[in-house]
Structure 1
């Protein structure tokens, strides 16, 4: 096993490539986030939040600006029609980019009041959009626009894009952040990064059972992540969870055991699977974009 990996459980050896190494693909950001891979065009799109822009990376061609004045976009994903869906700090909203480039607002309020600052999101197979709403984009002007928090809590929401219906599915988070479904969509994982502004705050990932495709039950702590916080994460086809952390990427088995780590020289914010076989893990880390090939593939296209 090369220096690109740290093994904590022998099961990790089957998930990584001993002859693959961590590559820095691009640098020049202030805080990279929200990577999403478009298989039909072989393009990776990601956010550079403080610079208020979204970037585009193409293998062999490098990176360039995808969208200026991105409304301080953070998390990105794709819907089931391969359209870009984005969580905007600055706009305090969830948007969808249509094939002609126009932007449709899917949600910007709950119970008549502005959302806090939508952070990350995932699209379920039924087309619903599940997203987190902490206050990071309104705490200061660095990653959005400083403003009063009008929502009484930092919630997790389920959105039906066609009808516009939005329901709160979890309300007991300090700062809900990354989220992703298990491969069979029976479990939803959600991180709480309250430790980002409170040393005694949570820095864990919780697991919830998904009932009737719309309700969350059976909350339990899946993993405590340290150092740093579990900002964003994705799952592979075997149900292993690959999450950001302060020292790189941590991989957890479905039973919650820490299998291993991929050390990264910058604090990691998020990850996504991509490439022709979805076995390339793209990593957004502070000022840079990294990638490494694995022996497993990502669980779902978004």
Structure 2
């Protein structure tokens, strides 16, 4: 029996889902949940509650949620690096940080050409260890998810941090509001969302696809356009299918960019993350609640 939260648009999707697995509501009580990052070593998920200026931790063994960090500098996107450390984008800190194994925080980048970032939003790590992140203005547009402040850079760009040298490079500068981003399983492609319609009438509400070569991007054609709400955060499975947040749940696109199915969620979804040691459970950050469902596919390993 197919669960009611699953919407099949193509038979490809049937091979990726489990018709007998429900959509589990694990916790509620946030204001705008974001940035889930899974840590297999201690079976936990760290995620952000941006307006409440805190990061939360879901314990997979006990299915309980507690505060991981407060204040969090209005942290948004999170990921794990190749050494298992937490990497975070901070709105009010206007920086990208790394939490070391001893709990201390290292600033990876807070400026470009001497100017402060807008409000780093989402972040991924390449297999070579470099850190890639988006920098729209959502955290400085108003006080709800950060602190109102003027732009210094004068644009919303995508950046790459060379963690060996600390050098920061702007790798994409033609976005209106770059948002979620994720690599393909072989790291040859970087997908980046543009949610510029939030600031520009009839602006972009799509995901673009770039080729990655030696730390630089080329291409940038539109991969998919959101049909309901906006794309925000997303991740890929090991088969190359892209699972993205949207206004009515999670949309699944095959590698050709065809929408093949949906996981319907009763709240606007902001981001997703693969969990469990087998990476076959998709954690879903709804507006106020954390959800999850088991799938018949597996997420690509970290970093990613």
TM-score with structure 1 setting the length: 0.98
Q: 1:18 matched to which residue of 2? A: 19
Q: d(CA) in 2 for partners of 1:61 and 1:74?
A: 22
- Using the TM superposition, give the Cα deviation of residue 199 of structure 1 relative to its aligned residue in structure 2, in angstroms: 4.3
Q: 2:80 matched to which residue of 1? A: 78
Specify which of 135, 138, 160 is matched with residue 137 of structure 2: 135
Q: 1:206 matched to which residue of 2? A: 208
Partner SS for 1:138? helix
Q: 2:229 matched to which residue of 1? A: 228
Partner SS for 2:174? strand
Specify which of 166, 175, 199 is matched with residue 197 of structure 1: 199
Q: 2:33 matched to which residue of 1? A: 32
Q: 1:155 matched to which residue of 2? A: 157
Q: d(CA) in 1 for partners of 2:254 and 2:144?
A: 35
Specify which of 100, 110, 113 is matched with residue 112 of structure 2: 110
Q: d(CA) in 1 for partners of 2:115 and 2:263?
A: 41
Note the alpha carbon deviations across 1:150-204, whole angstroms, 9 max, x for none.
1121100010123110000000000000000000111100000112234411110
Q: d(CA) in 2 for partners of 1:136 and 1:181?
A: 23
Q: d(CA) in 1 for partners of 2:275 and 2:197?
A: 30
Paired residues of 2:38 and 2:275 also in contact (CA < 8 A): yes
Note the alpha carbon deviations across 1:206-237, whole angstroms, 9 max, x for none.
0001122x111111000001211110000000
Q: 1:94 matched to which residue of 2? A: 96
How many aligned positions are there? 301
Provide the aligned C-alpha RMSD in A: 0.8
Partner SS for 1:164? coil
Paired residues of 1:52 and 1:72 also in contact (CA < 8 A): yes
Q: 1:287 matched to which residue of 2? A: 288
Paired residues of 1:196 and 1:229 also in contact (CA < 8 A): no
Runs of 4+ in 1 over 4 A off after TM superposition: none
Q: d(CA) in 2 for partners of 1:300 and 1:226?
A: 29
- Structure 1 residues 199 and 7, CA gap change in structure 2 (3 angstroms): farther
Structure 2: state its 5+ residue gaps: none
Structure 1: state its 5+ residue gaps: none
2:272 corresponds to 1:271? yes
Paired residues of 2:26 and 2:63 also in contact (CA < 8 A): no
Q: d(CA) in 1 for partners of 2:197 and 2:220?
A: 19
